[in-house]
Every structure is written in structure tokens, then in C-alpha cells.
């Protein structure tokens, strides 16, 4: 039997019992379940890097406001589908303060997590115009978005931006948009899983081409303000979180409260639609909706049909969080900086032990340290590497399931790794390198 940090036989048995034939193709939740069962049987704690969940306590001001709202009886009352007024105006203030863009309160809509925002958008954006029924993903990306497309029976196109950074992005993007079938483009910035951040030059390319081909950009800001190379934390003061909204009016933003405010459990996020798009009319919408007006159809057609709005008490929580942030009383960026600090230490441990960072640059700049990073090991595919790391008490996901073409890569999420586990991580990585000497 091999000597590995976690009992070799038990790991093998658990893989069999969970009916796993290829770890590289497992979903995040399948990996989570596998590791849970191994931990339970061996008593050995893993360095858990598979799931992107917040590792910090929820924003306190939100919890207090939510409790107060519940005590006031909001649980008995249906919330308005378009959101409570105080939240709508705080969202509008937030985008002004931290993105420096103007969006009317009407287009600021709470959603059941930003996942519901993307689901609602996918449903509508691919029905705006006959023949324009595909979304283009600037990958790598969040696998659940593709799952949303699948369950909606929608089609998509994708390419990995790794080889198309800077000027090269323009021709590549245009080669898709010029075919005339793409309704919309989605990317996350900072990016899950690679933590690359588009530069202003790249955002301008995306915005200009969205204008040229009348395509709608969905900008997923799940990790708002978390490119810690810049301080985006001061309301109403530059620098601002970069956004495509500076270059086109054809946009929708998805802003999650899960990571920025550690509020994942209450499933509340924000959709912010540009005024121009909100007020636009698309006659083809009349096949599905009572109005051809985009904003009206989104709220009274799509969001109504999906969940009839967003949990009432959570809206009070988010309104209170945003008010504190907008008033400069709560520095949300400072609260989550811990992720970047841990990433810096962890990335060094990996590279000191023979691993490489896969997505390592934003054009000519080293990428930021943040919630995720990507790594590989010489001679291993991502799938083989993950399968092997499981014996070393390290769990993650392969980049293969994220639309990445870097099939040698693995995504690590730093959030659940505790500071006191870092020496254990280092020891396991050293053990791994000793057992797998680089040729
Ligand atoms: C890129 C990206 N978009 C969206 C989400 C989901 O956000 P929410 O919890 O607000 O639904 C996540 C969560 O991990 C994410 O990484």
C-alpha cells in the first residue's frame, strides 16, 4: 500500500462508493460530497479548495436589519417584484459610488442571488430578436451558467481568452459576433476561476464591439472590488471598479452579495440594467410577454414567473449593507482582503514546490491575488493531478469543467482554507513533490 497523507485504500474505496470514474469530470458538488465522506471516515481534514463559498462571517449590519425586518412582520407580506424602494435607491447609489455610472432606480432589481439574474437574462436575451439566440461566454467561467443554459435548452458559443488578451481579443470576439447569431456576451470580472481581470483596453474592445453588433453584455461582478491591486473601496472616489458600462449602453450587471458582503446564504443579488436597455422595445418579446419593453418584460414577465420577487427580509438586509457602504461607514473591500493575503501565501507554497500558476498575467501585469488561483504540475493533466492530490488531502476542481482550454489546470479557492492549515498545506505539497520528482 502507498503511504500518502490520507489513507490510500480508504480514498480508493470512497471513490468507488461514490461511483466516480473520472474525478476530472466531477461537478463541484460531487467533489464536495466525496471529500466529506473521506474526511468522515479517516478523520483527516482536507485543504478544501473546491467550493467558492465565503469563508468570513456575514456583514453584521445586514443580519441586524434582516432580524428587525422579520420582527416587523415582513415575512407575511409579498415583496414587490421590482424590489423595495430603499434597496433600489441604494443599488443605484452603489453603482454610482463604486463604478461611477448612472443607473435609474427602475433598472436596479434585487434577484435571488446573482444566479437568478443570469437565469432571467439568458431567458430573455436569447428571445429579443429572431435568429439571435446564442450567448457567447468569454471563458473560463462559472460552470453553473452553462447548466442554466442547458436546462433552458439554449445554445452557446465559447472561447478561452487565455490566448486572446489585449488587442488580440478584438479579432477573436468579432469572429463570433459577426456571424449574427450572438445575442449576448457573458464574462465575470474578476474572473472565476482564473482571477484574470480584463484591462480597460479589453473592456473597451468588448464595449465597442457590443455597439457595433448590437449585442448585450452581461458583466458578472460576483467579486466586486476584489482586484486588490487597486483600492476600489472609497465611495465616490477613483479608482472605480472597471466596467464595460464605460464603453457601451448595451449592458446588464450582475452584482452578487455572496462574496463581497459574505451574504451567500440569504440568496440575494442585484441586477442592474442600463437605462438605455431598460427602456428599449423589442417587438419579438410579444411572443412571450405582454410588453415589448425590456425592463417591463424583465420584471413583470421573467422575474415574476421565476420567483415573484426576492425574499422580503433579505432585501432589507442588503439595503442596510449598501447604505452603510455608500455612506462610507462599512469598508467591504477591507473585510475581504484576507482572501488576497491568503492567496499570496498559498501561491508561493505551490510554486516553491514545483507547481505553476496557469493563468498568470493580465496582459503584461501579474494577476492579482484573490479568491481563486489556478495551478498545474509538470507531466500531469488537470484530471490526473486532481485525482492524485486527493491522496494528499488537497481538494479542488479541474479547469476542464470551466470552459478552459488549459486542461492541465486546476482551480483553487482560498476561502475555506484556514490560516492554521497553511503549514499543513505546505507539508503536503512538499510530500507531493517528493513523490513526483520533476523530470
Ligand atoms: C462568477 C460567479 N457568478 C455568480 C455566482 C453566484 O452568485 P450568487 O451567490 O449571488 O448567486 C458565483 C458564485 O460563486 C460566481 O463565481
Distance (Å) from CA 369 to ligand 1 centroid: 18
pLDDT at residue 38 in the model:
97
pLDDT in tens, 361-382: 999 999 999 999 999 999 999 9
DSSP codes of every residue in 172-228: HHHHHHTTS-EEEEEEESSPTTT-----HHHHHHHHHHHHHHT-EEEEEETTTT--T
In the predicted structure, residue 202 carries a pLDDT above the cut 80: yes
pLDDT in tens, 237-252: 999 999 999 999 999 9
Which residues approach ligand 1 with their CB closer than 6 A? 52, 113-115, 142, 188, 192, 220, 222, 256, 258, 264, 269
Distance (Å) from CA 45 to ligand 1 centroid: 26
Cβ distance 429 to 49 under 8 Å? no
Domain 60-326 has CATH 3.40.640.10: yes
Minimal-distance CA residue to ligand 1 atom 3: 222
ω into residue 193 within 30 of 0, thus cis?
yes
Distance (Å) from CA 256 to ligand 1 centroid: 6
Closest CA to 334 of 345, 343, 325: 325
pLDDT at residue 417 in the model:
95
pLDDT in tens, 27-44: 888 999 999 999 999 999
Compute the average pLDDT of residues 179-193: 97
The best mutation among 222, 227, 411, 414 to test binding of ligand 1, ranked by most ligand atoms within 8 Å of the C-beta, falls on 222
Minimal-distance CA residue to ligand 1 atom 2: 222
Distance (Å) from CA 264 to ligand 1 centroid: 9
55 falls in which pLDDT band (50, 70, 90)?
A: confident
pLDDT in tens, 392-419: 999 999 998 899 999 999 999 999 999 9
Minimal-distance CA residue to ligand 1 atom 15: 222
The best mutation among 256, 314, 411 to test binding of ligand 1, ranked by most ligand atoms within 8 Å of the C-beta, falls on 256
Nearest atom of ligand 1 to the alpha carbon of 141: 1
Phi and psi at 418, nearest 5°, equal -85, 150
Nearest atom of ligand 1 to the alpha carbon of 142: 1
In the predicted structure, residue 287 carries a pLDDT above the cut 80: yes
The best mutation among 50, 55, 115 to test binding of ligand 1, ranked by most ligand atoms within 8 Å of the C-beta, falls on 115
In the predicted structure, residue 179 carries a pLDDT above the cut 80: yes
24 falls in which pLDDT band (50, 70, 90)?
A: confident
Compute the average pLDDT of residues 309-332: 98
Question: Across all residues in the chain, what is the average pLDDT?
Answer: 96
pLDDT at residue 380 in the model:
96
Q: Are strands 251-256 and 182-188 parallel, antiparallel or unpaired?
A: unpaired
Distance (Å) from CA 98 to ligand 1 centroid: 19
**Residue ranges per domain, the chain?**
8-56+337-435, 60-326
Minimal-distance CA residue to ligand 1 atom 12: 222
Closest CA to 216 of 313, 349, 127, 103: 127
423 falls in which pLDDT band (50, 70, 90)?
A: very high
pLDDT at residue 182 in the model:
98
Cβ distance 206 to 173 under 8 Å? yes
Distance (Å) from CA 5 to ligand 1 centroid: 32
Indicate the fold that domain 8-56+337-435 takes in CATH: 3.90.1150
pLDDT in tens, 86-143: 999 999 999 999 999 999 999 999 999 999 999 999 999 999 999 999 999 999 999 9
Closest CA to 432 of 382, 388, 374: 388
Distance (Å) from CA 116 to ligand 1 centroid: 10
Nearest atom of ligand 1 to the alpha carbon of 258: 9
Distance (Å) from CA 313 to ligand 1 centroid: 21
Q: Using CB atoms within 10 A of its CB, is residue 94 exposed (0-12), middle (13-18) or buried (19+)?
A: buried
Amino acid at each position: 500500500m502507498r503511504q500518502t497523507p490520507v489513507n490510500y485504500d480508504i480514498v480508493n474505496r470512497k471513490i468507488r462508493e461514490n461511483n466516480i470514474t473520472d474525478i476530472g469530470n466531477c461537478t463541484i458538488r460531487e467533489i464536495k460530497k466525496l471529500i466529506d465522506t473521506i474526511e468522515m471516515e479517516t478523520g483527516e481534514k482536507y485543504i478544501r479548495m473546491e467550493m467558492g463559498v465565503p469563508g468570513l462571517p456575514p456583514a453584521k449590519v445586514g443580519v441586524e436589519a434582516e432580524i428587525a425586518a422579520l420582527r416587523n412582520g415582513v415575512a407575511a407580506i409579498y415583496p414587490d417584484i421590482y424590489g423595495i424602494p430603499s434597496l433600489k435607491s441604494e443599488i443605484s447609489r452603489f453603482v454610482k459610488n463604486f463604478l461611477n455610472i448612472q443607473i435609474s432606480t427602475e433598472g436596479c432589481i434585487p434577484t435571488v442571488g446573482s444566479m437568478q439574474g443570469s437565469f432571467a437574462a439568458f431567458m430573455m436575451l436569447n428571445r429579443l430578436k429572431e435568429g439571435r439566440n446564442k450567448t457567447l461566454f468569454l471563458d473560463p467561467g462559472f460552470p453553473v451558467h452553462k447548466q442554466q443554459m442547458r436546462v433552458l435548452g439554449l445554445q452557446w458559443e465559447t472561447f478561452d481568452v487565455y490566448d486572446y488578451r489585449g488587442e488580440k481579443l478584438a479579432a477573436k470576439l468579432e469572429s463570433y459576433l459577426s456571424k449574427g447569431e450572438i445575442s449576448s456576451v457573458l464574462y465575470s470580472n474578476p474572473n472565476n476561476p482564473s482571477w484574470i481581470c480584463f484591462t480597460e483596453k479589453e473592456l473597451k474592445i468588448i464595449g465597442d464591439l457590443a455597439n457595433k453588433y448590437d449585442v448585450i453584455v452581461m458583466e458578472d461582478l460576483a467579486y466586486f472590488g476584489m482586484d486588490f491591486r487597486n483600492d476600489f473601496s472609497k465611495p465616490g472616489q477613483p479608482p472605480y471598479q472597471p466596467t464595460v458600462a464605460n464603453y457601451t449602453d448595451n449592458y446588464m450587471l450582475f452584482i452578487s452579495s455572496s462574496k463581497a458582503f459574505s451574504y451567500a446564504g440569504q440568496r440575494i443579488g442585484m441586477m442592474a440594467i442600463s437605462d438605455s436597455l431598460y427602456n428599449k422595445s423589442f417587438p419579438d418579446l410579444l411572443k412571450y410577454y405582454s410588453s415589448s419593453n425590456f425592463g417591463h418584460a424583465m420584471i413583470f414577465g421573467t422575474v415574476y414567473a421565476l420567483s415573484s420577487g426576492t425574499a422580503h427580509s433579505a432585501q432589507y438586509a442588503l439595503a442596510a449593507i449598501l447604505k452603510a457602504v455608500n455612506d462610507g461607514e462599512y469598508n467591504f473591500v477591507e473585510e475581504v482582503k484576507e482572501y488576497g493575503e491568503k492567496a499570496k501565501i498559498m501561491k508561493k507554497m505551490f510554486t516553491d514546490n514545483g507547481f505553476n500558476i496557469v493563468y498568470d498575467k493580465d496582459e503584461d501585469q501579474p494577476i492579482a491575488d484573490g479568491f481563486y488561483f489556478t495551478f498545474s504540475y509538470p507531466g500531469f493533466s488537470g484530471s490526473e493531478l486532481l485525482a492524485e492530490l486527493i491522496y494528499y488531502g488537497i481538494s479542488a476542481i479541474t479547469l476542464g469543467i470551466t470552459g478552459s482550454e488549459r486542461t492541465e489546470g486546476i482551480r483553487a479557492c482560498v476561502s475555506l482554507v484556514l490560516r492554521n492549515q497553511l503549514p499543513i498545506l505546505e507539508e503536503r505539497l512538499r510530500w507531493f513533490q517528493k513523490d513526483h520528482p520533476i523530470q
